[in-house]
């Protein structure tokens, strides 16, 4: 018997044998494993169409005060807003960033199942919204201008739950990418909060810190010495880049606002020069590079402490006038150096002095040294 084409061959599924057919099956297989992630994204888009938020700013809508969450909403008795506000987005262009941020939740759901992913998203989202409101309520009682301003803000979006998913996904990475992923994620969130912080940045940090505290997957000391040195090397370079960006770009974080170019160019130049000189030494585990880096961190911390003391005694405006550069940038930089200082102390064992050899001999590595270098 011949088929309709007269070839005499049995009928085949042509589409399934093509690359596009295989790709379609792969996409379908993946989609069936991440129904929670896809459902949340679909719900975001449906609400975006229903509210016209996909093409017009929802924050300008009359429904903003009804559905957005934040401390003012809780004080007004709108306790439903942590749920309703999750599925709105404030600006149309933010949809692209929001949907992209769900890669972590998708990976988590693919690896650990839908129940786990839904739990991380729900708890992370609710915790970030509620904890942010509580923290701003407490600090708004102080004269802190940033806290007083942010305590009056409303926000929408599922970013707290999305970042909780990213943090949980990073915890599933294999070594050494797990520690590297945590380092990148925490650095990004902390820098965003310190230099350009708003209510959303604070909620992102809280969501990730919650996952970090629960999962306990960040174990820097269990990594090899080579990995600890590499992270110190990269972190120092990133600090230098951040200081340059903060000098060139305007900032608006917890330490205040600053215009572009208002920081102290001499402070930044000194830090960058020292970083260039010692960074490679950190990568190779040189003790002198670690000592210089610690001293540089201490100098930056003392600078920040001195500025805070002057502000307390003389006032902010007088301090801004008397210093070479905006104290806002210096204080924010000091906060980032606090993390660097803590990390350097934490991994100080990776920069131990090397054993001295007798004359004419070279000491062989110990078993522990070989294991740590692998």
How far is C-alpha 43 from the chain's CA centre? 25
Number of C-alpha atoms within 13 angstroms, CB side, residue 356?
2
Q: Torsion angle, CA of 250/252/255/261, rounded to 10 degrees?
A: 10
**How large is the average pLDDT for residues 54-73?**
95
Structure tokens at 25: 């099956």
Higher pLDDT, 91 or 14: 91
**Beta pairing class for 251-253 and 256-258:** antiparallel
When mean pLDDT is compared over 183-192, 260-269, 316-325, the highest value belongs to 183-192
Q: What is the pLDDT of residue 181?
A: 92
Tokens of 122: 């729900």
Do 125 and 102 contact (CB within 8 A), yes or no? no
- Residue 25 binned pLDDT confidence (cut-offs 50, 70, 90): confident
Question: Tell me: the pLDDT tens digits for 260-313?
Answer: 766 678 788 888 899 999 999 999 999 999 999 999 999 999 988 988 888 777
Supply 67's token pair.
């559905």
Which residues in 68-98 are b (16+ Cβ under 10 Å) and which e?
bbbbbbbeeebeebbebbbbbbbbeebbeeb
Question: Does pTM surpass 0.85?
Answer: no
What value does the mean pLDDT take over residues 330-353?
Answer: 89
Given this model, what pLDDT does residue 96 score? 96
What number is the average pLDDT over the span 321-349?
83
Residue 18 is predicted with a pLDDT of 54
Taking the alpha carbons at both ends of the chain, their separation in whole angstroms is 65
* Lowest-confidence pick of 68-72, 123-127, 177-181, 264-268: 264-268
3-state secondary structure of 3: coil
Inter-residue contact 161 to 124 (CB < 8 Å): yes
Residue 30 CB partners (closer than 8 Å, separation 6+)? 110
Task: Assess whether the previous peptide bond of 176 is cis (omega < 30° from 0).
Answer: yes
Q: How many CB atoms sit inside 10 A of residue 335's CB?
A: 20
Phi, psi of 72 (to 5 degrees): -60, -35
The residue ranking higher by pLDDT, 249 or 314, is 249
């Amino acid at each position: 018997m011949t088929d309709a084409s007269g070839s005499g061959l049995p009928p085949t599924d042509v589409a399934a044998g093509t690359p596009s057919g295989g790709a379609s099956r792969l996409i379908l297989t993946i989609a069936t494993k991440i129904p929670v992630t896809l459902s949340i994204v679909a719900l975001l888009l449906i609400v975006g169409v229903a509210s016209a938020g996909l093409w017009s700013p929802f924050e300008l809508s009359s429904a903003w005060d009804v559905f957005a969450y934040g401390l003012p909403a809780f004080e007004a008795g709108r306790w439903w807003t942590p749920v309703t506000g999750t599925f709105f987005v404030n600006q149309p262009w933010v949809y692209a960033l929001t949907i992209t941020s769900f890669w972590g939740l998708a990976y988590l759901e693919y690896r650990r199942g839908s129940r786990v992913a839904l739990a991380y998203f729900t708890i992370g989202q609710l915790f970030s919204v509620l904890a942010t409101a509580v923290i701003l309520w407490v600090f708004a009682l102080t004269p802190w201008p940033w806290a007083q301003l942010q305590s009056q803000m409303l926000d929408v979006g599922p970013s707290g739950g999305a970042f909780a998913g990213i943090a949980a996904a990073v915890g599933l990475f294999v070594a050494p990418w797990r520690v590297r992923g945590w380092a990148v994620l925490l650095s990004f969130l902390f820098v965003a909060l310190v230099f350009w912080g708003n209510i959303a940045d604070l909620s992102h940090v809280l969501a990730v810190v919650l996952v970090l505290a629960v999962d306990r997957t960040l174990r820097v000391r269990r990594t090899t010495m080579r990995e600890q040195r590499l992270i110190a090397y990269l972190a120092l370079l990133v600090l230098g880049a951040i200081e340059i960006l903060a000098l060139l770009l305007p900032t608006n974080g917890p330490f205040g606002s600053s215009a572009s170019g208002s920081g102290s160019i001499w402070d930044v130049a000194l830090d960058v020069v020292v970083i260039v000189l010692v960074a490679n030494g950190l990568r190779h585990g040189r003790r002198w590079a670690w000592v210089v880096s610690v001293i540089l961190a201490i100098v930056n911390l003392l600078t920040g402490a001195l500025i805070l003391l002057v502000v307390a005694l003389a006032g902010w405006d007088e301090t801004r006038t008397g210093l070479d550069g905006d104290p806002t940038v210096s204080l924010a930089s000091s906060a980032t150096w606090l993390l660097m200082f803590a990390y350097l102390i934490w991994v100080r064992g990776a920069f131990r002095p090397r054993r001295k050899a007798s004359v004419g001999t070279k000491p062989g590595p110990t078993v522990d040294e070989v294991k740590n270098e692998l």
